Structure 1
Amino acid sequence: MTLPLALPGLGEIAGDYDILLCDVWGVIHNGRESWPDACEALARFNREAGHVVLISNSPRPSHDVVAQLDGLNVPRESWRAFVTSGDATRAELAKRAPGPAWIIGPDRDWPLYDGLGLDVAKGAADAAFISVTGPVDDNVETPEDYRERLAEGAARDLELICANPDRVVQRGDKLIYCGGSLADLYETLGGRVTMAGKPFGPIYDLALKEAEALLGKPVDRSRVLCIGDGVVTDVLGANRQNLDCLFIAQGIHGDKARGEDGRIDPARAADLLKAETTYARYATLDLAW
């Protein structure tokens, strides 16, 4: 397997790209605080090289997540457009309206359903399909807390629409389960799953449409760089789209890609990638200029 190139900083390759499709959680913040070096790297790219489109597996519509970024002190100059898994998933949900939908997820994710005309089911027995954004209480719940209930849906052959394909994210110094972990469990139970966020095509279609609007011309895909820490979401998505990728190898991976000298070890980064048969052109521990 070809090793990723250890990248000292984004500035080394900024001139090679017009568009960055940059992941959010795990790259520019951890759910509790933003990282100034990463935010400044994106802002500098916007000033000197091209345009940053944030591409997040948040299950909420992008306009609803902007306030969260502001609250975490992510500067508006760090990005020029923003698309989420929630944006892409709304189209899938609209196709299935009025349902009824058995909805699983915390109250903060309800903006996903605004204006879609979906009826809400009480459970598997009266549902036409299942919509999952994540555990109701991701501070304490695990996928196993949902096994029995999801088994009922699989037994009825209900399709599960997952609005957040991420399996885990880092919140502060803790890893929490996301919608993708529930979708994984549902598939092991024999259930059918549909997802529109990373690594699947619909969210990239939206992101590249935003990029084209920013550029005012068709996108040259050879000048698009994806940035992210999720191997099965960000890196796999970039591979499927035939786009270059910068793998952020710390965050949810801890120190697994850190060498004895404290820097990125390309061989260790490659080990993380090959576990899912993926490849990244570049790798670094944290995003910086």
Structure 2
Amino acid sequence: MSTPLSADAFVAALRAEGVAVVEVDGWRDHNRNHKGAWGPVNGVVVHHTVSSGTDASVRLCYDGYAELPGPLCHGVIAKDGTVHLVGNGRANHAGGGDPAVLNAVIAENYGDRPPTTHRHEGSAGAVDGNARFYGFECVNLGDGEDPWPAAQLDAVERVSAALCRAHGWSAKSVIGHLEWSDWKSDPRGFTMPDLRTRIAARLAGPTTGTSAAAEAAAAAARAGAARQPFPGAGFFTEGRESPVITAMGRRLVAEGCSAYAEGPGPRWTGADRASYAQWQRRLGFDGPDADGVPGRTSWDALKVPHTV
């Protein structure tokens, strides 16, 4: 058992592990501590949001909704790997779970997986996970088809390793929501044993610090970044190369609109057009208005950061 990290120590641990951190305004005092204890903490629970888009998912996890007020986790892990901190203290993320699982996590003595859970919120004998676990929501629809970009999975690994390292835990202190509560399925799209293997390998080495690229992405998100003006539909033609196209592609990936097999890169390609068409359809455009060629309305909504 451990005392929860302070906000400053939490951020420092994440950045030391190479996490690109975005501090959402007000997160340091945003919690549900008036509803019950926060701590001692025993581990980390990984979730998926069942939502798409970074901005909307962060807002959802910060605010919550009528039946379940926010924060709904401590951090939201976007598809581009940035981690948006939305809460510090008790959060509505884990709910009730199985005491046998909690005991196995505390002892870190299970094999490939913790014991099968037979409890959930409201069931007899369930224990309060909101008091005992840090929670991270990963932006994903949770349908088994929405992709998990490498940058996002790397961030899940890093945030988990950061907290394990800070508290002296092993990778067995990291569980999925489906391993805690018997009516949950998240995270769906990768396995927790595989994630714990990755975390264990990372813990065997030193901390890495935040890469320049990751910190630049986080700094842009923190500042709201100057937006790239719409260059005009005629800009997006075959053979065009520009850092604007790379920046656009990265935003599309972050919003879950990706037809990229690799990249994105600076050259305008069919993958860019197909990805942008997904974004247009997300905004409600169809037919010729969702042809994959950027228009001013969809471009402004995408919030492409300035490249200079």
TM-score by length of 2: 0.23
The structure with more radius of gyration: 2
Structure that is richer in strand per residue: 1
TM-score by length of 1: 0.24
Higher relative contact order (CA 8 A, sep 6+): 1
